[in-house]
């Protein structure tokens, strides 16, 4: 029981020395990766860099104890950071005191929402998010995030919060204002990062770029040439404080809190499940919501900003040998050490380097292959991806994801409204009945039409099914018997049972026999409740087509 509430008990009890080496090495590697990322992502969110570091301490401890994944690397991530900016910048000026207090409250709300979803077992809703939607949405968000850093990369002022088209247009207009040294540092960093990503993916290139550029700025005094730097990062660990509760703020933040709760959970569960499948343990999505929720709730008391499990850091954590939550605890300890002693080192770090780190990270998420693949296999799925992508770019992150979900569900409804209905014929050689379109040798009967309905029947497709019968019947005037093969009908609703009843009665009164064969158990149960056994008796009882057509 206690293990259900605190999953960490499991690995603490069974901890052995062999795990320690992997956990140590993964903890250190993730920390090296996390330090520049945390500062960079805080910058995306419109926050001082140190808030990113704060968010990489307490929440990591909490998740390591209470989360259900042993490999998930929790902390600041790019997508959530962008959502924080887009949601809170409508209420206060990024960087201001007021902005900060909104962000802490937002984090608390996200924690409460996620924790409540876990308690009420609502983790299943993530199932309704098609991978096509996630992929389109991620690619668009990556573009938005990447281009949001253009101003830091070029060293110019650009309005944030507008569409990317606006950003690109404005950047083009201000091309003459570019700070060349900033731009060279940025481009140099991007090329360096890309080079190591390709050639030596395990090399901690971001940290090296951070160190080299900081030294360059310091010794060449580049600050005087207009290169924007991070500046003073406060020393010390965050102290406890409650978010400023206020009903108006809560109402104003609710939509963005819901979006982040959902998007953050989705990112987290996807990577946690992928690793768990490889390691053959199970992720409970509701436990996962509880763990993330508490990490956010408690984090909000220690000046953090919303966290979730990150794609790339979790993958690095796993590949670097993490075995248990201890790896994350080690990461958190190293970040605390950094906060206590090393923050002065970041004074001369240029913003352009953080922008370069962000751009390289997020542009890697743009997945054109997936779009091509989906278009090849099933056009509608490719279209779902494309529509989500376009609307996210044009209207924004929350709107894009909502439109994507709605569209993907409508596609499913649309498909089930026009089900596959096969007319069957008899194949003498193998003594089976098959679709006459795929097996032209199948023999049809002069007086009998046989249909196999390849679908669950419900109100939206029963009309289509009826139309199919009448279309075929009008082509073949000699038919005096219709047989429906129900072996592929997996479900039926009461409304369609009534409609089928009307259809059967109409044909019967026109002198055409109407048989249904091969009903599955659950369907038999339903039509019995509708009184079909008394009404149709033998006409719906035949187990197979062979059985009916040998009776002749």
| Residues of this chain that bind a second copy (CB under 8 A) | 124, 126-132, 277-278, 280, 282, 373-374, 376-378, 380-382, 408-409, 412-413, 415-417, 419-420, 435, 438, 454-456, 458-461, 463-464, 470, 474, 487-488, 490-491, 493-495, 497-499, 502, 506, 510, 520-522, 526, 529-530
* 80 in Cβ contact with 308 (< 8 Å): yes
Shortest Cβ distance from residue 419 to a second copy (Å)?
7
Using the minimum distance from each CB to a second copy, give the nearer residue, 81 or 388. Answer: 388
Cα–Cα distance measured from residue 450 to residue 437, given in angstroms and rounded to the nearest whole number: 13
Beta carbon of residue 412, minimum distance to a second copy (angstroms, whole number): 5
> Which of residues 160 and 456 has its CB atom nearest to a second copy in the complex?
456
Closest CB to a second copy among 231 and 522? 522
- Whether the CB-CB separation of 160 and 85 falls below 8 Å is answered with yes
For the CB of residue 467, give the shortest distance to a second copy in the complex, in Å.
9
- Tokens 């703020």 correspond to what residue? 249
Question: Which of these, 86, 75, 73, lies nearest to 44 by C-alpha position?
Answer: 86
Kindly tell me which of 15 and 412 has the beta carbon lying closer to a second copy: 412
Per the document, the length of the chain is: 552
448-454 and 481-485 beta bridge pairing: parallel
Q: Which is nearer to a second copy, 57 or 388 (CB)?
A: 388
Write out the H or E segment, with its range, that includes residue 74: strand 74-75
Inter-axis angle of helices 397-417 and 78-88, to 10 degrees? Answer: 110
Least distance from a second copy to the Cβ atom of residue 505, Å:
10
Report the distance separating Cα 382 and Cα 374, nearest Å.
Answer: 5
**Which tokens go with 10?**
């499991």
Q: Which is nearer to a second copy, 81 or 138 (CB)?
A: 138
Q: How far is the CB of 481 from a second copy (least distance, A)?
A: 17
- Nearest CB to a second copy, comparing residues 30 and 411: 411
Helices (H) and strands (E) counted in the chain, each on its own, are 25, 7
d(CA 235, CA 344): 7
Q: Return the number of the residue (443 or 529) whose C-beta is nearest a second copy.
A: 529
Of 39, 171, 84, the closest CA to residue 397 belongs to 84
Whole-number minimum distance, CB 452 to a second copy, in Å?
Answer: 10
Residues 280 and 359: their CA atoms lie apart, in Å, by: 34
Q: Nearest approach, Cβ of 421 to a second copy (angstroms)?
A: 10
Q: How far is the CB of 426 from a second copy (least distance, A)?
A: 17
Question: What is the C-alpha separation between 18 and 435, in angstroms, rounded?
Answer: 59
Matching residue, tokens 């570019």: 178
């Amino acid at each position: 029981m206690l293990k259900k509430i605190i999953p960490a008990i499991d690995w603490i009890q069974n901890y052995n020395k062999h795990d320690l080496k992997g956990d140590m090495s993964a903890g250190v590697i993730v920390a090296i990766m996390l330090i520049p990322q945390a500062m960079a992502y805080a910058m995306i969110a419109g926050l001082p860099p140190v808030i990113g570091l704060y968010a990489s301490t307490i929440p990591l401890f909490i998740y390591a104890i209470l989360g259900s994944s042993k490999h998930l690397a929790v902390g600041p991530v790019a997508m959530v950071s962008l959502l924080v900016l887009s949601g809170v910048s409508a209420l206060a000026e990024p960087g201001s005191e007021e902005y900060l207090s909104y962000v802490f409250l937002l984090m608390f709300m996200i924690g409460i929402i996620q924790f409540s979803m876990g308690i009420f077992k609502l983790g299943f809703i993530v199932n309704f998010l098609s991978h096509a939607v996630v992929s389109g949405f991620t690619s668009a968000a990556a573009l938005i995030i990447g281009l949001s850093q253009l101003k830091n990369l070029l060293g110019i002022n650009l309005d944030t919060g507008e569409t990317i088209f606006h950003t690109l247009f404005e950047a083009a207009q201000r091309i003459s204002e570019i700070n060349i040294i900033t731009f060279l540092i940025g481009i140099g960093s991007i090329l360096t990062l890309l080079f190591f990503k390709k050639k030596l993916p395990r090399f901690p290139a971001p940290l090296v770029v951070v160190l080299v550029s900081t030294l360059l700025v310091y010794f060449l005094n580049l600050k005087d040439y207009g290169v924007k730097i991070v500046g003073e990062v406060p020393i010390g660990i965050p102290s406890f404080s409650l978010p400023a509760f206020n009903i108006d703020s809560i109402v104003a933040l609710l939509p963005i809190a819901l979006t982040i709760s959902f998007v953050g959970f989705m990112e987290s569960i996807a990577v946690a499940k992928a690793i768990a499948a490889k390691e053959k343990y199970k992720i409970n999505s509701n436990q996962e919501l509880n763990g993330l929720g508490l990490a956010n709730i408690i984090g909000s008391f220690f000046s953090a900003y919303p966290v979730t499990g990150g794609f790339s850091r979790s993958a690095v954590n796993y590949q670097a040998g993490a075995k248990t939550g201890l790896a994350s605890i080690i990461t958190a300890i190293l970040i605390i050490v950094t906060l206590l002693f090393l923050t002065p080192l970041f004074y001369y770090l240029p913003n352009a380097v953080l922008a370069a780190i962000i751009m390289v990270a997020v542009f890697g998420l743009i997945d054109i292959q997936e779009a091509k693949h989906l278009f090849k296999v099933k056009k509608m799925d490719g279209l779902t991806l494309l529509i989500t992508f376009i609307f996210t770019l044009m209207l924004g992150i929350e709107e894009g994801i909502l439109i994507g979900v709605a569209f993907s569900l409508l596609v499913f409804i649309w498909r089930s409204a026009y089900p596959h209905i096969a007319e069957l014929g008899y194949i003498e050689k193998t003594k089976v009945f098959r679709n006459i379109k795929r097996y032209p040798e199948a023999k049809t009967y002069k007086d009998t039409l046989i249909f196999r309905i390849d679908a669950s029947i419900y109100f939206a497709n029963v009309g289509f099914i009826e139309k199919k019968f009448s279309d075929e019947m009008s082509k073949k005037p000699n038919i005096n018997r219709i047989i429906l093969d129900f072996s592929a009908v997996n479900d039926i609703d009461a409304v369609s049972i009534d409609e089928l009843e009307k259809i059967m009665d109409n044909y019967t009164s026109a002198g055409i026999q109407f048989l249904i064969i091969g009903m599955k158990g659950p369907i038999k149960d339903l039509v019995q409740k509708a009184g079909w056994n008394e009404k149709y008796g033998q006409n719906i009882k035949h187990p197979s087509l062979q059985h009916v057509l040998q009776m002749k």
